[in-house]
């Protein structure tokens, strides 16, 4: 009698993960597509508009005017540096670009006086170099992260460490939202995704480092294992408090701003220790895989942690933001090379080394050309 061949069928947990991941993947792909489709508001003269102000975010949908151009539509209303604005749509305060055909509603005020106005962005006399470079770099990075996340999350869906890395990569695509046109999708990205960026990124990095490369945690030091759960719980509580503060449900003292750098440094430190221990305990090809991941993921999170430290003048500059994006793009290329060449995650694909070198060279030339 012929015995029927047994076939492996996906478990309920695996199917659930794939459905969840595909939903998140589609959402992030929609954000990237919306940012790409909005290129005219960034790069096309006559359509690219501006409010002619530089603001500092306060709370809720409010901001303070730090600088105002003489030709700004807000200057025509009599507003000046130090006055407050509160956008009707909370997403408008997070946008980098506007269209000249839009009407932006807001409540403006100086002192105790408040009034509601609707203004039309004025056309940019020239395309802003920093905004254009930022748009190109963010778009390249978001699309690269999206492709990597899809490759890892679907081809290695059964691996817990691969799932965590895929989510960490996916959350990076949310940065493209700042270049979308105003509307419901932009508001959703601001309200629903923005509060999750730091939480998913840092917690996901820590949990990934504890499970990589063999989906087990024998390499994690005892003190890191004991401290990780309290760290994650405290960070979640801190994120909830900050979100409540921004929505004006409660008020936090300015001293709370120093908590974020402390959390970021601890997450990077713990994750770095985990990856270092995994590297020391591995041998041969496995050690090479850990090395590629440590370089590709560790560098980007070290720069992200540095960005949270207040008082570092160079960190808040446009040049640092552009450098961070270039490094992140190169890190994604390094991760892709490690996956496809050294089987960091065995996705069943291979890549030629010369192709990778060619892509890296092109990215470097384009990046340096944009930064000039």
What tens digit of pLDDT does each residue of 137-166 get?
A: 889 889 889 988 988 888 888 889 889 999
Share of the chain above pLDDT 70, in %: 85
Q: What letter would DSSP give residue 193?
A: I
Q: What is the pLDDT of residue 11?
A: 62
Q: What letter would DSSP give residue 88?
A: S
Q: What tokens appear for 343 in the block?
A: 């089987």
Which has the closest alpha carbon to 172: 31, 40, 305? 31
Task: Determine which helix (DSSP H) or strand (DSSP E) holds 98, and give its type and residue range.
Answer: strand 98-99
The strand pairing partners of 117, in sequence order, are 106
Strand order through the sheet with 122-123: 98-99, 48-50, 122-123
As a whole number, mean pLDDT of residues 95-109 equals 83
As a whole number, mean pLDDT of residues 172-194 equals 79
Query: Quick check: bond before 213 cis, omega within 30?
Result: yes
Q: Residues 330, 356, 176, 245: is their CA dihedral positive or negative?
A: negative
DSSP percent split of the chain into helix, strand, coil, nearest 5: 65, 10, 25
d(CA 240, CA 217): 29
CA dihedral 307, 310, 311, 315 (to 10 degrees): 10
Domains of the chain are 12-38+128-371 (no CATH), 47-123 (2.30.42.10)
pLDDT (tens digit, 9 = 90+) per residue, 268-314?
A: 999 999 999 999 998 888 888 888 888 888 888 888 888 877 777 67
Q: What tokens appear for 233 in the block?
A: 């719980």
């Amino acid at each position: 009698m012929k015995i029927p061949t047994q076939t492996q069928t996906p478990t309920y947990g695996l199917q659930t993960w794939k459905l969840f991941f595909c939903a998140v993947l589609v959402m992030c792909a929609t954000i990237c597509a919306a940012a790409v489709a909005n290129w005219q508001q960034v790069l096309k003269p006559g359509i690219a508009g501006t409010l002619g102000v530089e603001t500092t975010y306060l709370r809720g949908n409010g901001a303070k005017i730090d600088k105002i151009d003489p030709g700004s539509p807000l200057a025509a209303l009599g507003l000046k540096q130090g006055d407050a604005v509160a956008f009707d749509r909370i997403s408008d305060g997070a946008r980098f670009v506007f269209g000249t055909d839009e009407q932006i509603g807001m409540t403006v005020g100086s002192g105790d006086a408040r009034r509601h106005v609707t203004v039309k962005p004025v056309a940019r006399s020239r395309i802003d170099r920093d905004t254009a470079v930022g748009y190109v770099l963010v778009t390249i990075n978001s699309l690269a992260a999206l492709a990597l996340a899809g490759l890892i999350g679907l081809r290695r869906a059964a691996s817990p460490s691969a799932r965590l890395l895929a989510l960490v990569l996916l959350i990076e695509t949310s940065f493209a939202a700042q270049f979308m046109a105003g509307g419901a999708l932009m508001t959703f990205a601001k309200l629903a995704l923005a509060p999750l960026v730091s939480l998913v990124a840092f917690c996901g990095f820590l949990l990934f480092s504890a499970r990589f490369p063999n989906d087990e945690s024998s390499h994690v030091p005892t003190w890191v294992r004991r401290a990780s759960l309290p760290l994650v719980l405290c960070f979640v509580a801190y994120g909830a408090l900050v979100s409540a503060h921004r929505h004006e449900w409660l008020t936090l003292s300015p001293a709370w701003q120093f908590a974020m750098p402390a959390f970021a440094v601890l997450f990077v430190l713990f994750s770095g220790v985990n990856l270092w221990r995994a590297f020391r305990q591995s041998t041969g090809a496995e050690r090479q895989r850990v090395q590629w991941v440590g370089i590709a993921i560790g560098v980007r999170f070290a720069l992200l942690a540095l960005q949270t430290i207040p008082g570092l003048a160079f960190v808040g500059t446009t040049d640092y933001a552009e450098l961070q994006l270039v490094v992140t793009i190169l890190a994604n290329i390094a991760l892709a090379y490690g996956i496809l060449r050294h089987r960091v995650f065995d996705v069943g694909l291979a890549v030629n080394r010369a192709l990778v070198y060619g892509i890296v060279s092109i990215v470097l030339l384009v990046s340096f050309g944009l930064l000039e």
